[in-house]
Structures are given as C-alpha cells and as structure tokens.
Chain A
Amino acid sequence: MDVALSKHGAWVLRAFFTLVVLFLYAPIVILLIFSFNSSEVPTFPLSGFTLHWYHEFLVNADLRDALKTSGLIAAVTSLGAVLLGVLSSIALVRRRFRGRAVVSALLLSPLVIPYVVFGISLLLLFHQLGVPRSVPTVVVGHIVISLPYTILVLVPRLQQIDATLEEAAYDLGASRLRTFRSITLPLILPAIVSAFLIAFTTSFDEYAVASFVVGPRATFPIYLYSALRFPSQLPQVIAVAVVVLVLSLTVIVAAEVGRRVVDRRVGAFDL
C-alpha cells in the first residue's frame, strides 16, 4: 500500500496537475494561434492564416535596435554579475571573517527589495550625481539585482569542492591566482555557466528597474511595454512574443537536458 496517496487520490492529483499545466500554457498557445491570424485585432472567429505579422516585426528597425540594446546590456550585466558573484562566493565559502552573516545577508538582500523602490533609489542616485540615464545606468541596476542569483548558484558548488585540493596546490608552491586558474575555476565552470545564463535572462527580461534608469535607447522590455499601449502594434508584438516565448522555452529545456547529460557523464566518471 502506498502510504502517501491512495490510487484514487493519485488519479485526482494527476488530473489536477494536468489542468494546471493546461492553464499555464493556454495563454501561450492562444498567442501562438493569433500570431498567424490575419485580422488586425485578436478576436474570434479567426479570419485567416498569415505570416504578415512575422514579416512586419522582422523589418521593424526600432524593435531590432531594442533587441540589440537588451542583448548588449544583458551580456555586460552577466559578465559583471558573474565576476562579482565569484569573488563574493569564494569569500563566503573559503574565508572565515567577522560579520560573515551580515555580509551574506547584504549580498542576498537585492532578492527581496521591491524593484519599484530600487529603481527609484537608483534614479535619485544618478540624479544626485548628475549622471545622465543611459545604457550603463541600466547595467548598474541589473548587476545589483542579478548578483544574488549568481551567488545562489555558485556557493553550493564551491561548498562541494574539497578545499584540500586548493591547499595541496598552495603547498606545492602555486600562487593564489594559479590555484584559482588551475583548480577552482575548472571545477566551478558548470556553475559559472549557469550563473551567466541566469544573469543574462534576468537582465534581458527586466522591465521594472530599467524603466526608471533607461536612457534614450530603449531595451526590449521597455519597447514591448510602450508597444502594448498602441493597438495597431499589437499583432506584431504578439508575433514577437511567440518567437521569444518559444525560443526561451527551448533554451530552458535544452539547458536542463544538457545539464542532466553532463551530470550523468560526470557521475559515471566518479565511479
């Protein structure tokens, strides 16, 4: 007998799970359907099949610029966040110092700060310093909010690594830098890749903080938000939405599958 679930209960839960998954994916499927609909407005009944809206957004220069800007910001953000994340994680895991708990709390606190408050704080900071809002001001904000995510990925990985490996390297005369390059870095590389991806996607999709510190060059979410206010742009925004959603779902699944394959290989290697 199963102690957690009766047969009947398992059936009910499976049905409920299926319903919820349908509810989660239905809006995405509806967008997919209407992205091919020829009418200007997304209404029933469907009026015919077209690829017009996909063509429309492919030739839309503003949109392409926004995607490029977001790509640039996300790339710089993820580099910066991973760099700071590696430094803080090593300090948190390997060093024993006073006030460690406070430091760790401070490093993770951007996880819980309301983005509206953080966005405004940055706005006031740049206003006070007389720094004009631009691409770098968005990068600054995005590094702060993605830093804790990189730490959350890196710290567990560092904790798994046997610290004696590093000590052995020191004993054999390797410098700190050499030890990091030859021992620590290769061992945490998978976690660095995950941290990079998380920081990249966080930044690429971030609207709330960016809305306060963005300059004349709109990011992709900023562009989307303003496009949502003009009904005439809706059909091509829906087409973009479908492309982005399908692409990101594919990347998520691919990353997960890839990680499992690597884990299995490494696991086999350990034996």
Chain B
Amino acid sequence: MPLAWLAVFFVLPIAIVAGYSFDVYSLFPGPHGFTLSAWRAVAGDHVYLRLFWKSVKMSVIVSAVIVVLAYPLAYYLALSGTKRKYILLLLLIAPFLTSYLLRVLAWKVILGDQGVVNTFLFWTGLRSPDHPLSQLLYSKFAVMLVLGYIWLPFVALPIFVSLESLDRRLLEAASDLGASRLRSFWSITLPLSLPGVLAAFFFVFVPTLGEFVTPSLVGGATGYMYGNQIVDLFGTGFPDWETGSVLALFLIAVVAVLTVVFSRFLQPQQIAAD
C-alpha cells in the first residue's frame, strides 16, 4: 500500500513531467507528439545553463561555509567531555525545528533599507539615513546569508554523530606514541569524521540547489536562482510548461547522480538522531 501511494503520487507525477518535457503532453491544445525540441532548446540556451551554474556556485559556497563553521561546534559537543552535551545540542538544533518562513521573515526585518541594521546605524550616527547599506536585502548575499542561517544547526548533526562514534582510545594511542593533538586531528579525527562531513554537505547542498522560497523573499534580481526559474515557467505570466519540465527533470537527474555518488556516506540515522 505505501508503494502504491508513492507510485501514484510520487513516481507518476514525475513521469508526467517527463511527458511534458518530451512534448507528449502539452499545455496548449493542438497536435503534438514525442520530440526533443524542448530539451534541445534548453541545451542551446545559455541563460538556463548559466543560471544553473550560478545556483550550483551559491549552494556550494553556502554548504561549504556552514560545514566549516559547524565542524568546531560538533567537535566541541562530541569531544570536549562537556556533561551537558545533549542539552547544548538541543539548543543548537531547536531553531532548525521551528518555522522556516518565520526565520526568513526575521532576516527581512533585519536587513531591509529601513530594517533593523540600517536604522540602528542611522540612530547611532554610524551611517547617514541618505546612504543606507542597500546591498543587505534583495541580493545574492542576503540569499546566501539566510540559507546559511537556516541550515547551520542541521549541518552540525551528521558531523556530531560521526565524531561521537569516534573511539577515543585511538587518540590516546596516538598521544602515547608522541603525536601532537594537531597531528592526531589530521591523521585520525578528521579522516574518521569525513563521512559525516560529506553527508552534512550533501544534506544542505541538495535542498539549497533547488531552493526558490528564500530567493523569492530576500533575493531580488541578483539572488534569483534556478528554482525560481522553474517556478516562473509554471507561473501565471508566460507559462512554458515544456521548458519548465526540462529544467525540473534536469535538476532531478543532477540530484539523483549526487545521491548515488554520496550514498556510501549517507546513513539515515544521521538526520534522525533525535
């Protein structure tokens, strides 16, 4: 029964998208049949490819930065021997479990031209009201900051799980053999926690790559991402379901390949460690 449910409401819908991308189905009535024209049009159009590449770069930067930031947090929780590690972990993760949209809203309030940061600067006289820091909101920077903020607590989880399972006796042995802490870190801790690091990267990279909600709220023109393009092609203005379907399928294909590549590092409990 669960499989039937997924077949009808998960696999079949994606098959229909594929149908649209090959023009088997069409939004407009009239004769149509299997063609590759929509795929060819996208492949020949640098706008879409460039936008995809831009989204990949943004997601890679966001994921890499927050993995690097989260690593010391997870390291502190797992290896410092603090007694309150689960309370601190909960403190770190709790924001992730609250409303996504509301956390984006908070940043909208903070970053706007008349937002908290700018009016605070005017008020304290650090900046004149005629020259607000206008790049804060509606920019690529805003999208990346907000995405980083949203995913940071989540990224710490898989890294924490891999560091927690690390056998401390390995570090003790290294220390007895005269290795410095730094040497132990590079030769033991880091390599053994690498699966957690890669899983963390994957679990952030995949959703941010297809993101459209945050960029549409704080991105403006420069923060526009691939996901927004897909939404707009299905939107009310000038719908082009064929092209939109090609872009959507391309995104799924990329995600599927990544999932296969990363699958040996992924363990479900890494994100269910509640």
Tell me, yes or no, whether A194 is within 8 Å of chain B by CB: yes
Q: Which residue of B lies closest to A197 (CB)?
A: B274
Interface string of B1-39 (1 = CB under 8 A from A): 111011001111110110010000100000000000000
- CB-based contact A2/B81 at 8 Å: yes
Given the known interface contacts A4-B168, A208-B212, the answer about A120 and B3 at a Cβ–Cβ threshold of 8 Å is: no
Tell me, yes or no, whether A6 is within 8 Å of chain B by CB: yes
- CB-based contact A114/B122 at 8 Å: no
CB distance from B127 to the nearest CB of A (A): 12
Contact of A43 among B88, B97, B116 (CB under 8 A): B116
- CB-based contact B5/A44 at 8 Å: no
- CB-based contact A225/B101 at 8 Å: yes
Query: Hey, which chain B residues are within 8 Å of A256, CB to CB?
Result: 90, 274
Query: Hey, which chain A residues are within 8 Å of B244, CB to CB?
Result: 120
Q: Which of the candidate stretches B44-52, B134-142, B227-235 sits at the interface with the other chain?
A: B227-235
Distance A125 CA – B14 CA, assembled complex (angstroms): 8
Tell me, yes or no, whether B209 is within 8 Å of chain A by CB: yes
Which secondary structure dominates where chain A touches chain B?
Answer: helix
Query: Hey, which chain B residues are within 8 Å of A234, CB to CB?
Result: 109
Interface string of B183-222 (1 = CB under 8 A from A): 0100001000000000000000011011111000100000
Contact of A3 among B5, B25, B174, B206 (CB under 8 A): B174
CB distance from A258 to the nearest CB of B (A): 12
Query: Hey, which chain A residues are within 8 Å of B80, CB to CB?
Result: 4-5, 10, 13-14
Tell me, yes or no, whether A51 is within 8 Å of chain B by CB: no
CB distance from A59 to the nearest CB of B (A): 21
Interface string of A34-50 (1 = CB under 8 A from B): 10000001111100000
Distance A114 CA – B248 CA, assembled complex (angstroms): 9
Contact of B9 among A13, A117, A144, A205 (CB under 8 A): A144
Tell me, yes or no, whether B102 is within 8 Å of chain A by CB: yes
Query: Hey, which chain A residues are within 8 Å of B99, CB to CB?
Result: 205, 221, 241, 244-245, 248
Which secondary structure dominates where chain B touches chain A?
Answer: helix
- CB-based contact A41/B210 at 8 Å: no
Query: Hey, which chain A residues are within 8 Å of B43, CB to CB?
Result: none
Given the known interface contacts A4-B79, A117-B248, A120-B17, the answer about A43 and B115 at a Cβ–Cβ threshold of 8 Å is: yes
- CB-based contact B16/A128 at 8 Å: yes
- CB-based contact B120/A17 at 8 Å: no
Q: Which of the candidate stretches A22-30, A61-69, A160-168, A171-179 sits at the interface with the other chain?
A: A22-30
Query: Hey, which chain A residues are within 8 Å of B6, CB to CB?
Result: 106-107, 110, 144, 147
Distance A122 CA – B13 CA, assembled complex (angstroms): 5
Within 8 A of B (CB), among A132-162: 140-141, 143-144, 147, 149, 152-153, 155-156
Distance A258 CA – B156 CA, assembled complex (angstroms): 23
- CB-based contact B181/A6 at 8 Å: yes
- CB-based contact B1/A224 at 8 Å: no
- CB-based contact B272/A88 at 8 Å: no
Distance A228 CA – B79 CA, assembled complex (angstroms): 42
CB distance from A209 to the nearest CB of B (A): 11
Contact of A117 among B116, B251, B272 (CB under 8 A): B251
A-B pairs, 10 with minimum CB distance = A114-B210, A121-B13, A27-B106, A43-B119, A4-B79, A152-B272, A13-B76, A125-B13, A3-B171, A84-B2
Interface residues of A (CB under 8 A from B): 1-6, 9-10, 13-14, 16-17, 20-21, 23-25, 27-28, 30-31, 34, 41-45, 84-85, 87-88, 91, 103, 106-118, 120-125, 128, 140-141, 143-144, 147, 149, 152-153, 155-156, 194, 198, 201, 205, 207-208, 212, 221, 224-225, 228, 234, 237-238, 241, 244-245, 248-249, 252-253, 256
